[in-house]
Amino acid sequence: MDLGFGGRRVLVVGASAGIGFATAEALAAEGAEVVMASRDAAGIAAAADRIAAAAATGRRPATAVADITQDGAAEALLAEVAARWEALDAVVDAVGGSIRSGFEALSDADWIGNYTFNVLSAVRVVRAALPLLRKGRAPSVVLLGAAASRMPYPNQIVSNVHKAGLLGLTKTLAGEYAAEGIRVNCVAPGRTLTRLWTDRAAKLAAERNVTAEDVIAEFAHEIPLGRFGNPEEIAAMVVWLSSPRASYVTGQTVNVDGGIARGLL
Ligand SMILES: NC(=O)c1ccc[n+]([C@@H]2O[C@H](COP(=O)([O-])OP(=O)(O)OC[C@H]3O[C@@H](n4cnc5c(N)ncnc54)[C@H](OP(=O)(O)O)[C@@H]3O)[C@@H](O)[C@H]2O)c1
């Protein structure tokens, strides 16, 4: 199936690793022009080089450096994109994460920091991108939520709350911008093998005196499909939702989670 990305211009924020990287790589393979952004200049350049070297793509995405949790960073990033392109057809924001902690151990600073990481950063990226998206062809926004948006995990209260907030943000923005033809959707991954989980598994393994593989196997046990997802499996949904093939889909949060979130909605 041709997803229709030929000549389309896409910004992926959080693109040096994990799901954002897999998304940028898949978009480039589909023929999109991509700007990849993350905090570390060397890391994002190396990620773009990896995509350029991959036989499937043969093109090197442009790169930008931004820490979107910082005031003014999203605006500066989009100004950089505007200097390159007069319009933007799609934006993916793949920045976010959790804190593993019980409720009482979390300070106000933890709550505000995680809110900025998961919610405010997405708000800022979308708001700064709107002028370019308005000039785009079949424009689309995809945010990254979490299966925890629908099935709160124990010991992750702060991201349970903020990832659930992304459902509301997605639905509300979709309603507000539908008349302008801008679609807004969210992909909610389950446990996915990125550094987020490899780091966590290494830490838990050291605490429990077991191997990281043991930890991954233990957490995989709760997943109906019996294994963690790969970043490429999450990216496949992000890319499809970003494409003109998803032209009648907006305001949706789609779980790609191996079945772990067992609720009906
Ligand atoms: N992996 C999972 O199991 C899982 C499960 C549920 C939801 N998710 C969600 O999926 C999304 C992607 O997760 P992931 O596992 O792919 O994460 P990851 O492997 O840690 O990658 C995160 C990416 O974002 C960049 N980044 C981090 N902070 C940033 C900032 N302040 N400004 C700009 N870029 C930043 C990182 O690069 P630099 O460090 O160089 O900036 C990296 O490119 C997140 O929203 C996460 O909450 C993941």
User: In the predicted model, is pLDDT for residue 171 greater than 90?
Assistant: yes
Q: What value does the mean pLDDT of the chain take? A: 96
Q: Which of 19, 159, 193 to mutate to test the pocket of ligand 1 (most atoms within 8 A of CB)?
A: 19
User: In the predicted model, is pLDDT for residue 56 greater than 80?
Assistant: no
97 CA to centre of ligand 1 in angstroms? 6
User: Rounded to an integer, what distance in angstroms lies between the CA atom of residue 94 and that of residue 133?
Assistant: 18
Q: 80 falls in which pLDDT band (50, 70, 90)?
A: very high
- Burial of residue 102 (number of CB atoms within 10 Å: 0-12, 13-18, 19+): exposed
Domains for the chain: give ranges and CATH numbers.
9-192+229-256 (3.40.50.720)
Q: Which atom of ligand 1 is nearest to the CA of 195?
A: 19
Residue partners of 162: CB distance under 8 A and separation at least 6: 96, 114, 115, 117, 118, 119
The pLDDT value recorded for residue 143 is 98
* pTM for the structure as a whole: 0.98
The pLDDT value recorded for residue 59 is 82
User: In the predicted model, is pLDDT for residue 58 greater than 80?
Assistant: no
The pLDDT value recorded for residue 110 is 98
User: In the predicted model, is pLDDT for residue 177 greater than 80?
Assistant: yes
DSSP reduced 3-state for 36: strand
| Model confidence pLDDT, tens digit, residues 3-53 | 999 999 999 999 999 999 999 999 999 999 999 999 999 999 999 999 999
Give the β-pairing of 253-256 and 183-189: parallel
259 CA to centre of ligand 1 in angstroms? 21
